[in-house]
């Protein structure tokens, strides 16, 4: 009962710190205390749920566990790949959106993500604080949080009324729980008012692929693993049409789910942080220099790879002929702030993958007509140096060619042939190499013919 | 296609476009503008932890840093920051002071000025290195080297002394995770050093 009152008191404190100012009033002032309070409240809620509802021993924290964690400091954990590389970034997105939904911009909300993650690692668990969790929760949370914040604001549409409005609020609650709960507490769910600047339905383009995927291991090409696969792709804004004014005002997300083939196989998000044009916007061919933040999560039955990166690239749009056919090209380099990769002999304890920083190169091109992509080729190589796990250096390459044959009414037939190759060099073991070719055949549904967005392998 | 003009354009247009974008704001902003430099030094303390260790090691030493950056927006600066920490009497076990330890990070850092004053928050991530040297009474020095990931956080204040110069005080944390270290019969698993620095710097802005 005492614990219940503690939580209730904290809820009242957070709500009390949150003035009844609508998001739709375009955030007249930043509410830093509310943002911090909500991030800490997320930690308190998750911790108490784990302690009281799930009876997890690690959740029973006390001053002694806090003192021990503060004395011993960081270590690396041995959690599953999915937990470390997807669940933690998602969790970090809640912290980040505590800031975003309290009128902080991208840069202002970023410290909230770090604060939320730091307090969770040191005070929310009995385990020693995990450095890889801190990286993934904070940096990954910033990327996923900004995407879900913009998507939630667009779904929400504060000018809608009736059941449409309720449906929108509920859908936005799933995508952006912090924004949805804040709106509910502030009594905004039924209010009709102007939308925030992030509400931008015209900037989105969705593409859905549904089909079959086969993936094979180079050690056993004769037995490819087949499974149904759904891919959802979302482009927001076009770097050649939209000037750079705020981080993630152009971004791209791709998610792949294979029921019976590992569930969520892939999630990639990349958002523009900075861009400068390399020639005049009226020119026939356009060139821009872009810096972007990138989140990678690849977890399929054949291999695992993930990380947080900063990417620089030169992107070009070449107009072909006199019509609306364009070739888009992208050449870039990236730095992996912290990546994760699985390989034989890798990992430590229960963990089957290594952590480390890396660098890489990216090249991609697409052929589009009337803003529908017909052909896409991409190539990406990365080098990753392990700092936790095996004493190893990993070289990896992704390459793929994807084609679309349009049928009618935004529906097309697609084919994608891709491959992932890895070469791992160990300090005390022979070099280990592996290739994983993949074939996908699918039907595509394109919801609109909005700009092509960012090229992303 | 001749790609030389495009490459030249890339090299020369990025800084100029950056400067052009910021030029109108120069009168309004009380803190750094355009290309700026900052360097400084101060006292530091380090906590070194490792995988499976019963306890962490604490030591003190000297530290210094250099930042070179540009302006992204009115409140946000981007910088490349290098930081070094030096302790000439370090040891991984209690009572040992035979190791010379050098830790360094190079990070891409963001400085965020939430208000119009000179107060800023800093965060960055990048690479780290650690060098540990033991010089025995006889024979050659034993050295080991690790490379890994680095991260930094901090809080600072720019105290302007003229339009172009400022004194900057910083409190910062630098995290360096450099993997396993083997030196002088010691094997230390998954070394992570956390360095705390209080420094005074000079900023050319």
* pLDDT tens figures, A202-249: 888 888 999 999 988 876 667 788 899 999 999 999 999 888 889 999
Measured between CA atoms, how close is A71 to chain B, in angstroms? 7
Give the number of other CB atoms < 10 A from CB of residue A141: 29
CATH number of the domain at A388, please: 2.40.160
Q: What is the dihedral of CA A127, A131, A137, A140, to 10 degrees?
A: -160
Confirm whether the ipTM is greater than 0.95. no
Residue B10 placed within a domain:
no
Q: Specify the number of domains making up chain B.
A: 1
Same domain, A25 and A170: yes
Same domain, A134 and A245: no
Residues near A311 by beta carbon (within 8 Å), at least 6 away in sequence: A270, A291, A292, A293, A294, A332, A333, A334, A335, A362
Residue B200 placed within a domain:
yes
Mean pLDDT value of segment A420-448: 91
Determine the residue among B55, B149, B151 to mutate to test chain A binding: the one whose Cβ has the most chain A Cβ atoms within 10 Å.
B149
A107 to B6: CB separation less than 8 angstroms, yes or no: no
pLDDT tens readout for residues B183-204? 777 788 889 999 999 999 999 9
CATH number of the domain at B152, please: 2.40.160.20
Residue A193 placed within a domain:
no
Rounded distance between C-alpha atoms, residue A254 and residue A261, angstroms: 17
DSSP 8-state assignment for residue A24: G
Residue A457 placed within a domain:
no
Domain region containing B133: 29-204
DSSP 8-state assignment for residue A17: H
A289 to B127: CB separation less than 8 angstroms, yes or no: no
Same domain, A20 and A148: yes
Check: CB of residue A239 under 8 Å from CB of residue A315. Answer: yes
pLDDT tens readout for residues B127-174? 999 998 888 777 788 888 899 999 999 999 999 998 889 999 999 999
3 state SS for A313-375: EEEEEEEECCCCEEEEEEEEEEEEEEEEEECCCCCCCCCCEEEEEEEEEEEEEEEEECCEEEE
Q: What pLDDT sits at residue A93?
A: 97
Chain B positions with Cβ closer than 8 Å to A: 6, 9-10, 13-14, 17-18, 21, 47, 49-51, 53, 55-56, 72-73, 75-76, 78, 108, 110, 112, 114, 121, 123, 125-127, 146-149, 151, 153, 175, 177-180, 190, 192, 194
Q: What pLDDT sits at residue B32?
A: 85
Torsion A82-A174-A109-A105 (CA) sign: positive
């Amino acid at each position: 009962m005492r614990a219940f009152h503690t939580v209730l008191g904290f809820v009242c404190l957070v709500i009390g710190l949150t003035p009844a100012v609508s998001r739709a009033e375009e955030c007249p002032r930043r509410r830093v205390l509310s943002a911090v309070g909500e991030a800490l409240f997320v930690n308190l809620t998750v911790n108490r749920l784990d302690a009281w509802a799930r009876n997890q021993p690690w959740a029973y924290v006390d001053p002694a566990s806090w003192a021990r964690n503060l004395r011993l400091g960081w270590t690396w954990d041995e959690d599953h790949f999915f937990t470390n590389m997807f669940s933690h970034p998602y969790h970090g997105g809640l912290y980040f959106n505590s800031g975003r939904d309290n009128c902080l911009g991208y840069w202002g909300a970023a410290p909230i993500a770090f604060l939320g993650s730091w307090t969770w690692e040191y005070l929310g668990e009995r385990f020693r604080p995990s450095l890889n969790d801190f990286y993934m929760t904070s940096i990954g949370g910033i990327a996923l949080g900004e995407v879900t914040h913009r998507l939630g604001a667009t779904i929400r549409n504060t000018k809608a009324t009736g059941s449409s409005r309720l449906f929108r609020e509920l859908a936005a609650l799933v995508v952006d729980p912090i924004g949805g709960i804040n709106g509910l507490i502030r009594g905004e769910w039924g209010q009709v008012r102007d939308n925030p600047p992030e509400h931008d339905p015209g900037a989105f383009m969705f593409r859905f692929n549904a089909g079959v995927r086969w993936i094979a291991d180079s050690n056993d090409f004769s037995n490819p693993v087949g499974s149904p696969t759904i891919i959802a792709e979302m482009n927001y804004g076009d770097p050649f049409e939209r000037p750079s004014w705020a981080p993630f005002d152009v971004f791209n997300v791709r998610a792949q789910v294979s029921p019976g083939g590992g569930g969520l196989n892939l999630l990639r998000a990349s958002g523009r942080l900075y861009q400068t044009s390399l020639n005049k916007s009226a020119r026939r061919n356009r060139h821009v220099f872009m810096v972007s933040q990138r989140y990678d999560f690849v977890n399929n039955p054949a291999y695992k790879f993930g990380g947080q990166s900063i990417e620089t690239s030169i992107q070009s749009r070449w107009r072909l002929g006199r019509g609306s056919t364009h070739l888009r090209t992208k050449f870039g380099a990236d730095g992996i702030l912290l990546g994760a990769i699985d390989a034989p002999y890798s990992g430590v304890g229960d963990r089957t993958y290594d952590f480390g920083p890396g660098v890489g190169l990216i090249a991609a091109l697409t052929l589009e007509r009337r803003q529908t992509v017909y052909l896409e080729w991409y190539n990406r190589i990365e080098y990753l140096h392990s700092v936790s796990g095996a004493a190893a250096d990993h070289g990896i390459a992704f390459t793929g060619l994807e084609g679309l044959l349009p049928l009618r009414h935004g529906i097309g037939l697609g084919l994608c042939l891709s491959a992932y190759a890895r070469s791992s060099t160990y300090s005390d073991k022979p070099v280990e190499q592996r290739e994983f070719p993949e074939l996908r055949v699918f039907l595509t549904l394109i919801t609109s013919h909005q700009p092509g967005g960012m090229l992303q392998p | 296609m001749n790609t030389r003009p495009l490459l030249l354009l890339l090299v020369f247009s990025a800084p100029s476009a950056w400067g052009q974008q910021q030029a109108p704001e120069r009168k309004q902003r009380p803190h750094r503008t355009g290309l700026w430099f900052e360097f400084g030094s101060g006292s530091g303390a380090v906590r070194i932890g490792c995988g499976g260790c019963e306890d962490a090691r604490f030591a003190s030493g000297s530290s210094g840093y250099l930042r070179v950056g540009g302006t992204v927006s009115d409140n946000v600066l981007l910088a490349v920051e290098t930081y070094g920490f030096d302790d000439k009497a370090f040891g991984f076990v209690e009572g040992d002071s035979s190791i010379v330890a050098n830790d360094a990070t190079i990070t891409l850092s963001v400085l965020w000025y939430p208000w119009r004053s000179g107060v800023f928050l800093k965060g960055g991530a990048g690479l780290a290195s650690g060098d540990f040297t033991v010089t025995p009474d006889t024979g050659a020095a034993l050295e080991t080297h690790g490379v890994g990931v680095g991260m930094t956080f901090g809080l600072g204040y720019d105290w302007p002394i003229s339009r172009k110069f400022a004194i900057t005080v910083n409190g910062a944390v630098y995290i360096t995770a450099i993997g396993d270290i083997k030196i002088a019969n010691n094997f230390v698993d998954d070394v992570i050093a956390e360095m705390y620095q209080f420094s005074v710097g000079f900023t050319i802005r």
